[in-house]
Amino acid sequence: MRFCSLGSGSEGNALLVEAGVDASGRSRPGGTGKPFRVLIDCGFRLRELERRLGEIGLMASQIDAVLVTHEHGDHIGGVYRLAQAHDLPVYLTHGTHRQGPDSGRARVQFIDPHGRFELPGLAIEPIAVPHDAAEPVQYLLDDGMHRLAVLTDLGHWTQYIADKLQDIDALVLECNHDPALLAANPKYPEMLKRRIRGPYGHLSNQQAAEVLARLGSSRLKRVVAAHLSKANNRPELALQALLEASEKQALEIVLADQERGFSWQAG
């Protein structure tokens, strides 16, 4: 399994996961030779998504399924156009579907936020998270050899989440804001600041570092800092926080950004 981002931030998010391949994209021994591609969220217009896919040598028609985390526009905004254009199944909770945009003719598959389900070459486990959305989830993906956890868009860490993230190999982790930069931002009204830093908002760099420090997975080798705010964070601040939290672990830390996401990583 390998994964990459087509963009990460408040202007649009899309994470692509390939099952049935190794880190370089070659078919795993005993595999079918054809990777199964899952897109987690699509906050980009169809043409923009196609452009970003083209930069990594893929077409939208090569995606096999879409998983949705929640109904905010930077995550679901382009999902249904993509799904209808290429007849893709869309997996999401009832709450996300109810509060999100009209799904039109898209093939919607409802999931239990606490129920594991299977896709070709992948076991998918939703993780219910505290966020200001109707029924938000994040995801744990397991290809039988490696386990990837995606944990963005949540306001605080819970023991339930901690229990789900045992024995993972890679983690995409929200580092949304630096508290000092958020507090000093003159363009953000106080109500919005309270929402962002509240228990149903977004993780700060420091909160993300605490998550990383508390993880008990000895298998964890790679962490991606994701969903950084352009207005309220700096890449070097997020990196510093995670490096300090992982100083006793041999971790590779990667930064995701809005324009380029991040390149292929091993799951």
Predicted local confidence at residue 26, as pLDDT: 84
Predicted local confidence at residue 25, as pLDDT: 86
Indicate the domain borders of the chain. Answer: 2-266
Predicted local confidence at residue 125, as pLDDT: 98
Predicted local confidence at residue 249, as pLDDT: 74
Q: Is 243 helix (H, G, I), strand (E, B) or coil?
A: helix
Residue range 158-172, pLDDT digits in tens: 999 999 998 999 999
Predicted local confidence at residue 51, as pLDDT: 98
User: What's the predicted TM-score (pTM) here?
Assistant: 0.96
Predicted local confidence at residue 31, as pLDDT: 58
| Cβ atoms of residues 27 and 7 within 8 Å | no
Distance CA 264, CA 247 (A): 24
User: What CATH number was assigned to the domain covering residues 2-266?
Assistant: 3.60.15.10
Q: Give 160-172 as a DSSP string.
A: HHHHHTTT-SEEE
Q: Please count the CA atoms within 13 angstroms of the CA of 91 that sit on its side-chain side.
A: 21
Question: Which residues of the chain fall short of a pLDDT of 70?
Answer: 29-33, 216-217, 248
For residue 55, the one-letter residue type is E
Residue with tokens 């399924």: 65
Predicted local confidence at residue 87, as pLDDT: 97
Give, in order, the Cα–Cα distances in Å from 154 to each of 128, 138, 169.
10, 9, 21
Distance CA 100, CA 68 (A): 11
Predicted local confidence at residue 267, as pLDDT: 82
Residue with tokens 């000895």: 218
Predicted local confidence at residue 112, as pLDDT: 98
Distance CA 171, CA 215 (A): 11
